[in-house]
Structure 1
């Protein structure tokens, strides 16, 4: 099993981004998930992701095996994520995943801005 990430894209395949406040950094929508065979994923009960402490809610426990224990979030930079696997047999395993991404050049047709929800503007 491997922890992976990818950009969340619009229906047209564009990279989603937003600005939390006027003049602020662009935040990109990212999906973090566990990549593995069906057999490997069946051995996992839950996955806990511990994000950078600057996140308002840095700890997320995911139990949806069908979504590959995905976590979607908005990020403006790269950082380590502590990942803990809770196994069906009661065991646990930990790893660290470095969330990194490379943005393509902005050609005018590969990004789409997403409005910020009101509660995030505070």
Structure 2
């Protein structure tokens, strides 16, 4: 599954009363914040990212800044006199889940915005739920025309769906194929799956599994030692 979201970087800057090492270039205090946009362009907290790393100009004493950026809006604030290009690494909990944004820090306006497109490849169930807060996912299509239910909880009658989503990728290939067969054999009309045979991809919304199937998969995961 491929999911795209628009990410907005908001940069603000102003002069500060400090001596500048470069004549004719006043010292500035500047900041960058990160938001995710929904389909209408409204800002939302970038909860799809777990941490952010700002890679500043090498002239900074601490050019790779990562220590404090674990909560939206991941505000990075610094002082300096010069404009420069930087990169922002945005991380998720997914394996290989890093997206890098190139950003031009400039002092042409007190505040300006840049919008970038971020791609999430095969997001976990937990990340899918977060991404749904800013728009539908590809597997949210409902060919039967039924209204799609939303799921705010993480449990289905004793089954922790988030733990299930985290555990499934830890199965061996043979065991994972067995789970997929279980889903095919026991799904209902309300079960949302997407099977792209050409791309070799299979995705399912675990929240739409019938309770008996969810429990069977959970017991299978317990038996294989990937959940407890």
TM tier, shorter chain? Answer: 0.5 to 0.7
In 2, the alpha carbon distance for the partners of 1:101 and 1:20 equals 15
Distance change (3 Å), C-alpha of 1:35 and 1:16:
farther
**Which of the two has greater strand per residue?**
1
How many residues are matched? 95
1:6 aligned onto 2:12 = yes
RMSD of aligned residue pairs (Cα, Å): 2.5
Q: Which of 52, 57, 65 is 2:57 aligned to?
A: 52
| Native 8 Å contact 1:43 1:89 kept in 2 | no
| Native 8 Å contact 2:52 2:90 kept in 1 | yes
Distance change (3 Å), C-alpha of 1:56 and 1:47:
same
In 2, the alpha carbon distance for the partners of 1:27 and 1:76 equals 5
Q: Name which structure has the greater RCO, CA cutoff 8 Å, separation 6+.
A: 1
In 2, the alpha carbon distance for the partners of 1:34 and 1:88 equals 18
Gaps spanning 5+ residues in structure 2: where? 1-6, 37-42, 111-228
| Native 8 Å contact 1:47 1:84 kept in 2 | yes
TM-score by length of 1: 0.66
In 1, the alpha carbon distance for the partners of 2:34 and 2:75 equals 7
| Native 8 Å contact 2:84 2:105 kept in 1 | yes
TM-score by length of 2: 0.37
**Correspondence for 2:71:** 64
**Correspondence for 1:30:** 30
CA shift for structure 1 position 89:
3.1
Structure with bigger gyration radius: 2
Gaps spanning 5+ residues in structure 1: where? 9-14, 105-122
Distance change (3 Å), C-alpha of 1:26 and 1:51:
same
Distance change (3 Å), C-alpha of 1:26 and 1:38:
same
Distance change (3 Å), C-alpha of 1:77 and 1:20:
closer
Runs of 4+ in 1 over 3 A off after TM superposition: none
**Correspondence for 2:82:** 77
Equivalent position SS for 1:81: strand
